[in-house]
A and B are shown apart, each in its own frame.
Chain A
Amino acid sequence: MREVYRKFGRVVRYENGVEIDVTECGEAIETNGAFIAVPLLGGADALVRPRGVSRALARWADEAVRPSMVERLIIAEGVAMHDFNGVQWSEETKRVHVALTHNHIRVLIDLDDFDFDLISHIADRLQHVTSEKEAPKKIRIAPHVAKAIELPGPLWQRAGGRDGKGQLIEEVPAEQSNCWYRPSYRVRPIRKALNLFVKCDNTHIDESLPQAIAIVDGDRLLIDDGHDVYPAHVTLERIDAASPTGEIESRCR
Chain B
Amino acid sequence: MKFASASRDELWINGVRVESRLSHGVATDEDNRIVARDDYDEELVHRCDELIADLRKSVRDEARMRLVASARRVRDVVMTDATITTTKNGLSIVGTEWVDQPPITPGLPILWRNGSASVLLHEAIGHAAEHDAPPIAWPSWLSVRDEPSFPLDDCGNETRIVDLMREPPSAFRRESFRDVPLRRMSNVVVRGNHDFDVSECVEVFVVRGGAYDPLTDIVTIDLGTFTLRKTRAEIAASIAGARGEPIRYPGVICSREGQEIVVGSHAPEMLTR
| CB pair B33 A34 closer than 8 Å | no
- Flag whether B38 is at the interface (Cβ < 8 A): yes
A46 near B: Cβ within 8 Å?
Answer: no
Segment among A15-23, A59-67, A128-136, A223-231 that sits at the interface with chain B:
A15-23
Nearest CB to that of A71 among chain B residues? B215
Contact of A19 among B34, B179, B182, B257 (CB under 8 A): B34
Whether A35 contacts B257 by the Cβ 8 Å rule is no
Question: A37-B22, A39-B22, A188-B19 known; A24 and B178 CB under 8 Å?
Answer: yes
For the complex formed, measure the closest distance between the CB of A21 and the CB atoms of chain B, giving whole angstroms.
5
Q: Does B216 contact A (CB under 8 A)?
A: yes
Name the CB-closest residue of A to B19: A35
List, in ascending order, chain B residues with CB within 8 A of A72's CB. 257
Q: A18 touching B22 by the CB < 8 A rule? A: no
Q: Across the interface, which residues of B come within 8 angstroms of A37, CB to CB?
A: 20-22
Q: Digit string of B180-198 for contact with A (CB within 8 Å is 1, else 0)? A: 1010000000000000000
Query: Does A19 lie within 8 Å of B23, measured CB to CB?
Result: no
Q: Tell me which of A18, A25, A71, A188 contacts B38 (CB under 8 A).
A: A25
Does chain B have a CB within 8 A of A148?
A: no
Contact with A along B23-34 (1 / 0, CB 8 A): 111010000111
Contact A106 B215 (CB under 8 A): yes
Closest to A186 in B: B21
Known pairs A34-B17, A101-B215, A106-B215; A21 contacts B22 (CB<8 A): no
Q: Is A159 an interface residue (CB 8 A)?
A: no
Alpha-carbon distance between A154 and B183 when the two chains are bound, in angstroms: 45
Secondary structure at the A interface, as helix, strand, loop or mixed, is: strand
Docked pose: A104 CA to B214 CA in angstroms: 10
CA distance A6 to B25 in the complex (A): 17
Tell me, yes or no, whether A26 is within 8 Å of chain B by CB: yes
In the complex, what's the smallest C-beta–C-beta distance from A245 to chain B, in angstroms?
30
* A: number of interface residues (CB 8 Å): 29
Measured CA separation A38–B20 after assembly (Å): 9
- Tell me, in angstroms, the Cα distance from A36 to B23 when the chains sit together: 11
The answer to whether residues A15 and B19 also contact, given A20-B34, A22-B36, A26-B38 and a CB cut-off of 8 A, is no
| Cα A217 to Cα B216 with chains together (Å) | 11
B75 at the interface (CB under 8 A from A): no
CA distance A76 to B148 in the complex (A): 32
- Complex Cα distance, B99 from A167, in Å, reads 45
User: Which residues on B sit within 8 Å (CB–CB) of A86?
Assistant: none
Asked whether, in the complex, the Cβ of A18 is within 8 Å of the Cβ of B33, the reply is yes
* CA distance in complex: A16, B257 (Å): 9
Chain A contacts with B in 209-227, Cβ cutoff 8 A: 217
Residue of B nearest to A72 (CB): B257
Chain B hits for A186, CB < 8 A: 21, 23
CB distance from B54 to the nearest CB of A (A): 20
Interchain CB contact under 8 A, A21 and B38 = no
User: Does B37 lie at the interface of the complex (its beta carbon under 8 Å from any beta carbon of A)?
Assistant: yes
Q: Could you say which of A22, A35, A38 has the most chain B C-beta atoms within 10 Å of its C-beta?
A: A22
Residue of A nearest to B20 (CB): A36
Apart from the given pairs A21-B34, A36-B19, 16 other A-B contacts in the complex at a CB distance below 8 Å = A16-B182, A17-B32, A19-B32, A20-B27, A20-B36, A21-B35, A23-B36, A23-B38, A24-B36, A24-B178, A34-B18, A36-B21, A39-B38, A41-B40, A44-B38, A71-B215
Enumerate 7 A-B pairs (CB-CB under 8 Å) in ascending A order.
Answer: A20-B33, A23-B36, A23-B37, A35-B20, A36-B19, A41-B40, A104-B216
Which residues of A does B touch, CB under 8 Å? 15-26, 33-39, 41, 44, 71-72, 101, 104, 106, 186, 188, 217
Nearest 10 interchain pairs by C-beta:
A24-B38, A20-B34, A22-B36, A37-B21, A35-B19, A39-B38, A38-B22, A18-B180, A36-B20, A23-B37
